[in-house]
Structure 1
Amino acid sequence: MAAGSGPQGTSGADGPAGRPSPVRSAPETAPDFVPPLPRAAPQADRHAAVPFGGADVSGRRAPHGDGAARRIGRTVRRVVGAAGDGRAPEGVAARLGAPVPSCRRIAVTSIRGGAGKSTVAALVAEIVRRHRDDRVVAIDADPGLGSLPVRLGVEGRGSVRHLAAARPGSWRELATHLARTPGGLFVVPTSHGSVADELEHETFQRGAGRLGEFFSAAIVDCGGGLDTELHRGIIAGAHAQVFVAPATVDGALSARAGLQWFGDNGFGRLLSRTVVVLVAHTPKPDADLERVRESLAPFGLPVAHVPFDRHLAAGGAMNPDRVGAAAFGAVTDIACDVFTRSLDAA
């Protein structure tokens, strides 16, 4: 996605390094950096974003991730000086706001659909965006009708396919194809409309390859599965990876199979920059998480757990401010870990 550093095996993080596109967290110190747009919706953005308010299609407000009693208790603890709600742990701003040598491409993958991948991708993208002074983009790379724009609550006419066809030559031209959340996160859907054609890697590369010149980080929500030309191309160009699986025994088995696949198919270097994430889909754990973690220990990777959250489980557009403290804190740690690992790649 950075110039000369697209998500192909010959020019990505695991291939020969291309010419870096300097990006720093303080644009004023880098004259060649295109400064970010103001927080207000820019005039170049003609793709409207629906409110990032966590309402479902019926108009009902999605529940808060924490119950009322837990929120009251947390407020009381803050008043008396105890720990806060985990939304701003020490060091997060420094880690996520660190200067980057080029646009950091973080792939969010899973061996199958329904693991919670798009939810994790949306939250990671939003958390990274909150701690940077430059632009961050979330890209839906699901070859079908991906749910990332739904989770982020945006709707626009642009898509990866629109970018591939238009080939914008400047930021002003590019911005007309991007959706944007009210919080400032840019979003690129796979397609627009109710029917999606198969997305080829060449099309994805043409559409997303120019973004690296204007963004400091790109979180790519891949479709379920791994072994397609599109998946392989995106993975080959990733600086780091979040690998998502359900927090169940079956999920652990699929995670083991997926991690083994990476090692067997030439992506061993990416494994060192991978964070494994187990997502709980029910209030009561379906498995002994310690045993699940032990089953993944031979790979030597960090294994994070995102607990069940009522707001996230409601589906539809999520509101990060309504995500419970435990789930939000877990994904914040994941974002910090994977972003730091992405800095180790060329």
Structure 2
Amino acid sequence: APPEPAHPAPGQAGGGHPVPADDLVRRNQHGDPLARRMGRGVRNAMGGGAREARERAAFADLMQRSVPSSRQIAVASVRGGAGKTTMAAMLATELALHRADRVLAADADAELGSLPLRLGVSPQLSLFDLAAHRPNTFQEAEGFLTRTPHGLYVLSSTRGGRIAGEFTLETFQTALSSVSRYVAATVVDCGAGILTEVNRGVVAGSHGLVLVTPGTVDGALSARGALEWYAANDQRGLLGRTVIAMVSHAPQVGADLRRAQEMLAAWGLPVVFVPYDRHLATGSSVELAKVSAAARSAFTRIVYEVFSRSLTGGGVR
């Protein structure tokens, strides 16, 4: 369960000390039994007992807070296959479930985004149609959106699962501006990578960022590289609004996650481990009832961390 966000002290963001990659590998690859490791993951993610009750109350309080303006949360990864789209789908769904106002999930994948598939919807209209129409009311904009059974609005980059046109940052921003004023929060599923024009523009315009990386040694090192790039390219202010999500794609973890998390946490950012989940690993439409309690707890923690930062992290610069 989520503690109060620990913002990095001035001048310390990006100041993590490098940890040799081979130090991250567990010397005993068998290590602790899986049940014990998973148990630690659950306790680290959400706590237990009285602490869990306090943190549930803190989460409920956060979800009831009004927003000064629509909050945009970007979900990005250094490369494909990290679990970014699943993360975006889960975070947006959890927000829609717990907030009384409107929540939007927007697909910013320039190629062929799979966010609608993960959310179980098949939009026949896309953000290209919304950008061309430029609606003046939410009632008009709603016709270009699809809604999930959980009340989440979805803005797709495809029509019926097919590429709808040449994807540009301008097109995405035009479409999003037509509807974002009517929603409390928008979760944007970026395309793979952090250097494309679209992804850089989406992240720069966001109030919070979830950086998704595989829960491996290589994943931790790639996430560190992304943080170093942001810090070196006039986006240091972004770090105070960033949450790292380390996603496990296998039932057993060979890397020493504690050391990997320490390496990333040295930047002053929260690092949340998302345990392997058999249902999410199928790549099909997400059914919340089939997602494990441990995974749901981790997603809730990430929602808490990034949404609170979107409200207090200084806003877009």
Q: TM-score range by the shorter chain?
A: 0.7 to 0.9
**2:135 alignment partner, one of 168, 171, 174:** 168
Equivalent residues of 2:131, 2:178 under 8 A apart: no
Equivalent residues of 1:127, 1:332 under 8 A apart: yes
Q: Which runs of 5+ in 2 are unaligned?
A: 1-48
Equivalent residues of 1:96, 1:340 under 8 A apart: no
1:201 maps to 2:159: no
**1:98 alignment partner, one of 62, 65, 81:** 65
Residue 90 of structure 1 and its aligned partner are, at CA, apart by 3.0
Query: 1:1-346 counterparts in 2 under 5 A?
Result: 89-192=56-159, 193-344=161-312, 345-346=314-315
The 3-state SS of whatever aligns with 1:263 is: helix
The 3-state SS of whatever aligns with 2:265 is: helix
The 3-state SS of whatever aligns with 2:171 is: helix
Q: Quick one: which amino acid aligns to residue 75 of structure 2?
A: V
Distance 2:182 2:227 in 1: 32
Equivalent residues of 2:138, 2:179 under 8 A apart: no
Equivalent residues of 2:126, 2:164 under 8 A apart: no
Equivalent residues of 1:158, 1:178 under 8 A apart: yes
The 3-state SS of whatever aligns with 1:304 is: strand
The 3-state SS of whatever aligns with 1:89 is: helix
For residues 136-171 of structure 1, give each alpha carbon's deviation from its aligned partner in whole angstroms, at most 9, with x where no partner exists.
000010101111111110111121111111111111
Residue 129 of structure 1 and its aligned partner are, at CA, apart by 1.0
Give the equivalent residue in structure 2 for 1:36. Answer: none
Residue 177 of structure 1 and its aligned partner are, at CA, apart by 0.4
Residue 305 of structure 1 and its aligned partner are, at CA, apart by 0.3
- 4+ runs of 1 displaced by more than 6 Å? none
RMSD: 2.1
Q: What is the TM-score with the length of structure 1 in the denominator? A: 0.73
The 3-state SS of whatever aligns with 1:299 is: coil
Q: What is the identity percentage for the equivalent residue pairs of Structure 1 and Structure 2?
A: 48
Distance 1:196 1:267 in 2: 31
Alpha-carbon spacing, 1:156–1:98, altered in 2? closer, same or farther (3 Å): same
Distance 1:320 1:213 in 2: 28
Residue 194 of structure 1 and its aligned partner are, at CA, apart by 2.5
The 3-state SS of whatever aligns with 2:296 is: helix
Equivalent residues of 1:145, 1:196 under 8 A apart: no
Residue 196 of structure 1 and its aligned partner are, at CA, apart by 4.9
Residue 297 of structure 1 and its aligned partner are, at CA, apart by 3.1
Equivalent residues of 2:123, 2:158 under 8 A apart: no
Residue 321 of structure 1 and its aligned partner are, at CA, apart by 2.2
Equivalent residues of 1:97, 1:132 under 8 A apart: yes
Equivalent residues of 2:128, 2:164 under 8 A apart: no
Distance 2:149 2:190 in 1: 24
Residue 295 of structure 1 and its aligned partner are, at CA, apart by 2.0
